[in-house]
A = this chain, B = another copy of it.
Amino acid sequence: MASQFFAIVAGVGAGTGGAVAKRFAQAYPVVLLARKPESYNDVVSEIQKAGGKAFGVTTDTADEASVASAFETIKKELPDSKLAAAIYNVGGGRGLKPFLELSVEDLDSSYQSNARGLFLFAQKALPLLLESVEESPHPPSLIVTGATASLRGSVRFSDFAAGKFAKRAITQSLAREFGPKGVHVAHAIIDGGIDIPRLKDRVINNGAPDGKISPDAIAESYWHLHTQHRSAFTQELDIRPYVEKF
């Protein structure tokens, strides 16, 4: 009997994470992780209404015990399924303060959500992805969300960029270690404001139409990454609005 496959999306809310969960739910049952149920509840409902399967697990990815517990819950809920795709979309916080006004907790917080959380999540997800290499409909994938600050330490971004750079370092290292084992590890540089309800009134790119990134469009590219043939993996791509300066 063919295995069932599922996906996990960590860091789900009204933006990229939710859109990615909905896109992958067209093919797989999806597990949504967020620190608060109110972050994933609406997306779970939306997926279920559209005929998909989804459930949420409240998880702090920066906390080792919380991540361990989440993967135990997933194992119980989906005992016979295998993991096809794991998306790590956690990583908030940007001080935007002058360096001398930041506290070291701002830096710690960026590290926790961007780097430590990815590390803990990947240590649980990669063994499951490795088990799927033979049978998964597409190469099992770990896809990580980055930002402009993954490549550039701008003024007033020391805390945010430190976390994003570290996240990219981990992703690169994992791509080099797990690619040859058949797991596709990819990193997306999201370079622009995202079109989410919370930013509805923020004017970006002079208010140009489609000047904010559509989360659904990001999700399409993540899906493309997941479906790439193993002879042609993309390790990194950038995503930005046509009007964005770069």
Contact = CB atoms under 8 A, between A and B. Distances in A.
A235 B238 contact: yes
A156 interface: yes
Q: Taking the full assembly, how many copies of this chain does it contain? A: 4
A107 B99 contact: no
Chain A, interface size category, equals 35 or more
A39 to B, nearest CB: 22
B158 A174 contact: yes
Interface string A203-246: 00000001111101110110010011111111111111111111
A213 B231 contact: yes
Contact of A176 (B149, B155, B173): B155
A122 interface: yes
Interface stretch (A4-12, A40-48, A69-77, A162-170): A162-170
Contacts of A211: 231
Contacts of A241: 230-233
